[in-house]
Amino acid sequence: MYVPLSLGSLVLLGIAFAIRAIAAIRTQPSPQLPPGPKGLPLIGNLLQVPSRLVFLKFVEWSKEYGPLASYTVLGQPVVLISSAKAAGDILDRLSSKTSDRPRLIKLAYLTHSMEFAFANRGSFWRTQRRAAHESLNIRAAQKFQPIQEEESRIMVEDLLRHPDIDIAKHIYRHSSSIAWRVLYGHEAIDLRDDKAQVPSENFFEPLFSSAIPGGSIVDIFPFLQPLISRSRFLRRHSEAWYEKANTFFINAHTRPQVPVHLKHIFEVVYGGHASISANSHCGQSPDNDHRGARIPAFEDLEHLPQVEAIVKEILRWRPPTPTGVAHVAEEDIIYNNYLIPKGAVIIPNTWSICRDPSLYRDGDAFDPSRFLDEKGCIRKPPPDSHDDYLVFGHGRRICIGKSLAMNTLLIAVAQLLWAFDFHGVKGEQGNEIVPDPSAFWDNGVTVWPKPHQVRLVPRFPDLFERLKSAAT
């Protein structure tokens, strides 16, 4: 029999269902931050984060807490990603939510907020990135190959002529000269020119140091920012650095440029070798008359997969930015039942990612063969992963200059290996001193090997003549 319900009964019934729903929701645990070290009240883990070689602490925490860990500094949550899968899921496939940058106050003062790599997504960032991509994409980068070949040959000749000069200075001249010529169209930098117009490597230390979240006092204690913004005295070092950088860029853009040999570039970019498959002859030994007797060129790299494997392994084994460049979550993200809250700083722990055991067996070992297949060809990366280029970042923040950087490394390594045998220097007992691969020099967001000596032995008695022949 149908019994009508009164209005009061309906209200009571609705309240009862609402109470049950609320109780069910409350009994379900809300997502928490990923696990991490226990901190102190108010300051969190501030005292546990070292100011130097911070990646070593991140590696330690990743081993203890897993591929997703977190810590806090003065209430600011920081999430560490230490596996390739988590990095791909969060920073690549969720890049629409994780492509912002943290607020780096000191870096903003140093650059007057004009460094687009650290800018938040917006019209300025999009315009700058589009322009950079048009100039440095994989096709555009090919036109710089003649410069890169010549600069690598100059480095080989300088190492032969001036073995007494620190090898680090040779390398810095090489990379600086390529940038000097590619970006501004100027002549090659002379190794012995103490009045060269490019900044020294020490010049960039403040910039690299401030590119790490918490890399300065004002980034740790942002409430100091209004005080610093009103005090020229407190900003004097940042302003002096900016003026030096600004003067350099003005001079670089206003100096007369060197004419570009367009015919040579046209031949390199559109020559017949461009249509050959990159690894079509990778299993064959290079013909000595064609490649072994002369210094390698870009057209030879398709026959030298071992060189590409060495470069990829160097970048994996010793990533130059072991903590990556930080991202920021633009909204709450739930990943594997953990909460990455809106505004959290996300650090791709590149050192650990490049040792992910699911991708790299014995990740601490230097083994270029991991990038070769059974035929000796460069193997394709696993599906949905760029395990051979993890060092260049993720998602919409992947390094725009990747193609230029890889080309620079490939031709430089190929020419150095062609020209020299590498040995440690002799100790007092006559034994070779092997550089410590774990000796690092902290340079902020980048980490360099500590200075060490290397003995280069020419592989050809007539190396000078071969280099001169290549220069003509």
Ligand-binding site membership of 354 (annotated): no
Phi then psi dihedrals of residue 450, to 5 deg: -65, 155
* Number of neighbours of residue 294 by Cβ within 10 angstroms: 14
Q: How do strand 76-81 and strand 345-348 relate by DSSP bridges?
A: parallel
Residue 253 CB contacts under 8 Å (≥ 6 apart), including other chains:
184
Distance CA 193, CA 150 (A): 18
CA distance 388 to 381: 7
* Cα distance between residue 223 and residue 323, in whole Å: 26
Sheet with 432-433: strands ordered across: 432-433, 420-426, 454-458
Cross-strand bridge partners of residue 449 = 440
Supply the DSSP string of 158-191, one letter for each residue: HHHH-TTS-HHHHHHHHHHHHHHHHHH--PPPPT
- 115-119's contacts with Cβ under 8 Å and 24+ in sequence apart are 115/207, 117/325, 118/211, 118/325
Q: Which two three-digit tokens encode residue 164?
A: 């007494």
Tokens describing residue 379 = 């193997």
353 Cβ partners below 8 Å, 6+ apart? 81, 82, 83, 84, 87, 390
Q: Element (H or E) spanning 457, and its range?
A: strand 454-458
What is the enclosing helix (H) or strand (E) of 469?
Answer: helix 463-471
Q: How far apart are CA 176 and CA 351, in angstroms?
A: 26
3-state secondary structure at position 245: helix
Polymer length of the chain: 472
- Annotated binding-site residues for heme read 399
- Annotated binding-site residues read 399
